[in-house]
Structure 1
Amino acid sequence: MACNFEEGQGNEGDGLPKDTVHEGLISALVSDLGVDSFIEVILLSTWDNVVGPKLCHVWYSDQERCKIGEKCILHVASLTGRDLFHDGSEGEGIVSYKLLLLPQHDVVVNCYKFYGCLKDGRTTLYAFSILMPTRYLNDYMPLYQICETRIVEFTAKFRLFQFKNYQTAIEKIFNDLKAFLIHITAIVRGKLSGTLEIADTWLFSIFKNTTKEEIALLEKAITSHLQTCRCSIVIGSDMKQINKMVRTLAMFNSEKELQSSRINLEDDERINQSYLPDLYLQGLLMELESLPISDIVRSHRPTTIISLHNWEVYRTALPDQHASILQEILKIDLATLWINNNKVTVSLSPQMLTLVEEGALLIEEFLEEMKELPCITQIRAEYIEHFKQKVDTKTYALIEFIESERKQNNALSIDDIKTYLSIRNDNDLIVILATSEYYKPGLCSWLIGQPSLTGYLPSGGGNL
C-alpha cells in the first residue's frame, strides 16, 4: 500500500455533524504507557453516526514528558473521525493507512484505519493514530513497514477482543502498545545505518593465521545469513563480540535493511536481553536455551541464529516454507485468543531450528581470498562489494533463466539451473534463491512448489 502524505485541515463548513471531541480529555480516556519514546501519543478514534467524530482512548508514551497538547490530540481525533466518515470503501478486515502532516502543531500523524464494532455489535470504522513531533519523521519513515506489521497484528487482536467483550477490549491491548513503543524506540536508538565501518568487523581482522574454528563459524554464519534473506540474531555473553559479529553480517545487507537493524548499547540492558521481531539484524545477551523461539518463528522473514556460546549456527525454515508456517501459526494464535485470551506457545520441535553444518562453497572461497588481501580498509571493503555484485549477477541470471523457461513451457530441472549458473552445490543455490526473494518476491516458493521440477533441493526446516 502506498504511503499518502496529506496536510491536515479544519472542518469548517464541510456539512458534517458538529464535532463532539471538544470537551477535553478525561482520566477515563487516558493511559500512560511509561515509555521514553519519540512517539508521544497513540489515540483510538471512530465515527459515530449520531454524535460524529468520537475519541475512544488516548495512550501517552510518558504523559509528564509529552509536548503534544490536548488541543492537538482533539484536533487529530476530529480529523481522523471525519476522515472515517468519508471512507467506507475498504473491505472488513483490511487495514489502510495515511500519513498526515500538521504544521500548525509541528506534529506528524500516522493513521491506521480498520473495521471494529460498537457496543451494540454494529460494525464501524476505527483509527489508531500515532503522533510524534515532526523532527522525528526521518527516524520513523525507514521503520514504516515494521510499524505497519505490528499495528496490523494488534488491530486483529483488538477486533477479536471487541467481539468477545467490548468493555475490556481497550485495556487488553495495553501491553501490546507498550511493547510496540519499546520496540520502535530501541531500533532508532541502536540503529546500524550510517555507523558501519569494516574495521569494526571480523572481515577486517581475518588473516592467514586465523583459526579453522573462526573460519568455519564465519562460513556457516554468512551462508545462513544470506539463505535466510539477510535476517539474523547473534547471541552471546560478550556485548563487544556480539556487536562485532552483527556488524560483520551487516556488510552483506543494504542500507535500507540496516535501518531496520540494531546493535547493543551499554546503557540499554533490558533491550539487550529482549528479542525485537522483524529486524534484519540484532544481538542478544542471552543463552540459546532462553531464546523466545515461539516469537522468532513468528517473524515475517526466516531467521539465522549465531551462538557465540558454542560457536554454532542455527536457522528456521528457509523462504519457501517459512511463509506457510507463519500463516499457520498466526491462525492458531487467533483461535487460541478467542478461546482463552492467551497467545499459544509453539513447542520447540527439531524441525523449527536446523543446525547449519557447513557453509556454501562461494562463501568459503570468498573468505579464503579475503585472508590473502592486505589489511587496508578500502581494499577489503571494495572486495566485499565485488562479492555482493557477483551474487546479484547470478541472481539476475537465475530470474532471467526461469522466466525464459516458463515462457517456453519447459520442465525445470535443478541440475539445469546449477549448470546454467555454474553452481556446484545446493548451499550455493539456496543463497541465490534466497537473494532472488529480494528482487522477485515469491520466486523461491514458486520454484520449489513446481511439480515439474526435477532433482533434489533440501528446503530445510519442517512443518509444525
Structure 2
Amino acid sequence: MSSGTPQSPTVAKTEVTVEGECPILAATFAYWDNIVGPRVCHIWAPRCEQPMLLSDGEVTFLANHTLNGEILRSAECSAVDVKFFVLAEKGVIIISLIFDGELKGDKNTCALSIILPQTELSFYLPLHMVCVERLKHIIRKGRIWMQKGYNIISVLSSEIVPIMELLSSMKTHSVPEDIDIKDTILNDDDIGDSCHEDFLHKAISSHLQTCGCSMVVGSNPDKVNKIVRTLCLFLTPAERKCSRFCKADSTFKYDTGLFVQGLLKDSMGSFVVPFRQVLYSPYPTTHIDVDINTVKQMPPCHEHTYIQRRYMRSELSVLWKAASEEDIAPNTDTGIHTDESFTPDLNVFQDVMHKDTLVKSFIDEVFMLKPGLNLRSTYLAQFLLILHRKALTLLKYIEDETQKGKKPFHSLHSLKTDLDLMVEGDLNIIMALAEKQRAGLHSFVFGKQFYTSVQERDVLMSF
C-alpha cells in the first residue's frame, strides 16, 4: 500500500509491547490545524509477533482521512461522534472518535482512531461497543486534561494500551460462537462429579440475574474454563464472542465490557477485584470462585448505573480540581480517586439473596436426561426460548400498562402475579433479560434510581 501523504517529522510514536498477535495496526491522535489541515499528533504502534503492516506515512494518511470533512462539524462541545470507515481500496477499517478539545489555547476538532486490517472486521464488530465505551470515557478525561493545558497523550495511553492487550487476548482466547455442551458441566453424568448442585444453581441463576456478565476466578485453568463454557451456553453467539477463557501460563487482567471472563489467581492463591473496572462495566457482574464454590453478585441494573455515573462524575471532578499533572496520575486503575461528595462502597459484591424456581427446575430436569446425546442441548434451547418469551411478555405487559412509557408503572404486584414471577429470583432473571432489550427498564419499573438493594426489597414487599 502506498502512502499519499509524507510523514511529518514532528509526529511522536509510542511502541506498545503486546504478547501474541495484535489485530490493531495502529492507533492515532490527530487534530484539525487551521493552517495545514489534519495533523497527526501521536501514533501508537503494537510491537508483537505480527510485524506492523503499515508505515508511519501510511498511518498518517489514514488518520488524515478521518478528519477530512469535519471542519464544518456542528455538535455540542461535549459530544463524541463515532465514525466507522471501511476503506476497501486500502484494505483497512478505521474506528474514529471525533470530539472538540483545546490545544495550545485554541478550540480544535480532534480524532482518536484505531486502524485494523479489513480482514479483522468480523472479529472486531462484536467488540466494537466494548472498545468505544472505554475510549469515550478516556476522551472525557482527556478533554479536561487539554482544557488545563496538560499532555493528553499520557491520558489516552492509559486506555489505548489496555485495549490493544484486550484485542490481542481475544484473538487467541475468545469463546467460540458455537459451544458443544459435551465440554460443559451440563454433560456430566452426575452433578456431584464436578461441582455441587447448589453451587451450579447459584452460579447460573446469578449469571442470568446480572444480564449474563460474570467473572470466574480460580487456581485451576481447566476448571475455570469449564465453568466459563457452561455460563456461555446461556449467552447469544454474539455475546460469546465478547467472552474470554483464562490463559494457563499467565494471568489476564479483568477487562471492562466482556460478558464472561476466566481469571486465574496469583501464586499466593489470591485475586484482587479491580473496583474501578468492575464498576465501569455496562451491566452488574457475578463473581464466581471455583476454588471455594462461592457466588456473589453486584446490585441490580438501576442501582449499578446510578453508582457508576456518580463515580464517573466524581472521578472527572477530581481531574478538574487537580492543580498539576503530578497531583493525580491519569491512570486511576491502581487507586480510587473521588471527590469528598462521594464515598464509594468497595464491597460491591453481595450474596445471592433471591432464590429462583426457573433455574432450579432446569438443573433438576436436565440431569434426568441421558448424557452424551443431543437431548440436553435441545432441552437447554427450549429453556432459553421460554426465558426470552417471558422477557418479551414482560416488556409488552409494561408497555400496555404505561401506554408505552407515557405513564409511570404502578402494577408490579399484578405483573408478578399475571406472569407467574412471584419468586424474586425469577423476576430478577426475566427483568435482566428484558433490560438487555430495553435499556433503562429497571430504573423505569423501580422508580428512583438510588434505591439500594435493601430498600428495593422493602418496596417490593409493600405491594
In 2, the alpha carbon distance for the partners of 1:107 and 1:117 equals 30
Relative to structure 1, the CA distance from residue 409 to residue 154 in structure 2 (aligned partners, 3 Å threshold; closer, same or farther) is: closer
Choose which of 126, 129, 132 in structure 1 pairs with 2:116: 132
Aligned partner of 1:13 in structure 2 is none
In 2, the alpha carbon distance for the partners of 1:428 and 1:288 equals 33
Aligned partners of 1:236 and 1:242 also within 8 Å: yes
Query: Structure 2 regions of 5+ residues with no counterpart?
Result: 338-342, 450-454
SS in 1 for 2:192: coil
1:417 aligns with 2:408: no
1:151 aligns with 2:135: yes
Relative to structure 1, the CA distance from residue 458 to residue 358 in structure 2 (aligned partners, 3 Å threshold; closer, same or farther) is: closer
Aligned partner of 1:278 in structure 2 is 257
Choose which of 63, 68, 72 in structure 2 pairs with 1:82: 68
Deviations 1:311-363 (A, max 9, x none): 11111111121111110111111122332323351777475211125641111
Relative to structure 1, the CA distance from residue 404 to residue 162 in structure 2 (aligned partners, 3 Å threshold; closer, same or farther) is: same
In 2, the alpha carbon distance for the partners of 1:38 and 1:410 equals 47
Sequence identity (%): 26
In 2, the alpha carbon distance for the partners of 1:52 and 1:350 equals 47
Aligned partners of 2:182 and 2:372 also within 8 Å: no
- AA paired with 2:395? I
CA displacement at 1:289 relative to structure 2: 5.0
1:394 aligns with 2:390: yes
Aligned partners of 1:304 and 1:315 also within 8 Å: yes
Aligned partner of 2:375 in structure 1 is 379
Aligned partners of 1:97 and 1:111 also within 8 Å: yes
In 2, the alpha carbon distance for the partners of 1:77 and 1:322 equals 37
Aligned partner of 2:452 in structure 1 is none
SS in 1 for 2:208: helix
Aligned partners of 2:185 and 2:194 also within 8 Å: no
Deviations 1:194-226 (A, max 9, x none): 35110111111153x637971100111111111
CA displacement at 1:429 relative to structure 2: 0.8
Aligned partners of 1:72 and 1:105 also within 8 Å: no
Residues 160-309 of structure 1 aligned to structure 2 (within 5 Å): 160-166=144-150, 168-205=151-188, 207=190, 210=192, 214-267=196-249, 269-271=250-252, 274-286=253-265, 289-309=271-291
- AA paired with 2:61? H
In 2, the alpha carbon distance for the partners of 1:172 and 1:215 equals 46
1:458 aligns with 2:438: no
In 1, the alpha carbon distance for the partners of 2:209 and 2:53 equals 45
CA displacement at 1:236 relative to structure 2: 0.6
TM-score computed with the length of structure 1 as normaliser: 0.86
Aligned partners of 1:34 and 1:62 also within 8 Å: yes
Aligned partner of 1:15 in structure 2 is none
CA displacement at 1:70 relative to structure 2: 3.1
- AA paired with 1:360? D
Aligned partners of 1:53 and 1:82 also within 8 Å: yes
- AA paired with 1:74? T
Aligned partner of 2:436 in structure 1 is 438
SS in 2 for 1:417: helix
- AA paired with 1:154? I
Aligned partners of 1:61 and 1:181 also within 8 Å: yes
Moved more, 311-320 or 102-111: 102-111
Aligned partners of 2:409 and 2:445 also within 8 Å: no
Aligned partner of 2:80 in structure 1 is 95
Relative to structure 1, the CA distance from residue 201 to residue 434 in structure 2 (aligned partners, 3 Å threshold; closer, same or farther) is: same
Aligned partners of 1:44 and 1:128 also within 8 Å: yes
Aligned partners of 1:262 and 1:281 also within 8 Å: yes
CA displacement at 1:27 relative to structure 2: 6.7
Relative to structure 1, the CA distance from residue 192 to residue 304 in structure 2 (aligned partners, 3 Å threshold; closer, same or farther) is: same
1:318 aligns with 2:316: no
In 1, the alpha carbon distance for the partners of 2:175 and 2:204 equals 18
1:39 aligns with 2:18: no
CA root-mean-square deviation:
2.8
SS in 2 for 1:61: strand
SS in 1 for 2:71: helix
Deviations 1:5-54 (A, max 9, x none): xxxxx9xxxxxxxxxx9442437521111225110111111111122221
Aligned partner of 2:51 in structure 1 is 65
Aligned partners of 1:118 and 1:124 also within 8 Å: yes
SS in 1 for 2:68: helix
In 2, the alpha carbon distance for the partners of 1:441 and 1:377 equals 38
TM-score computed with the length of structure 2 as normaliser: 0.86
Relative to structure 1, the CA distance from residue 56 to residue 357 in structure 2 (aligned partners, 3 Å threshold; closer, same or farther) is: same
Aligned partners of 2:28 and 2:112 also within 8 Å: yes
SS in 1 for 2:76: coil
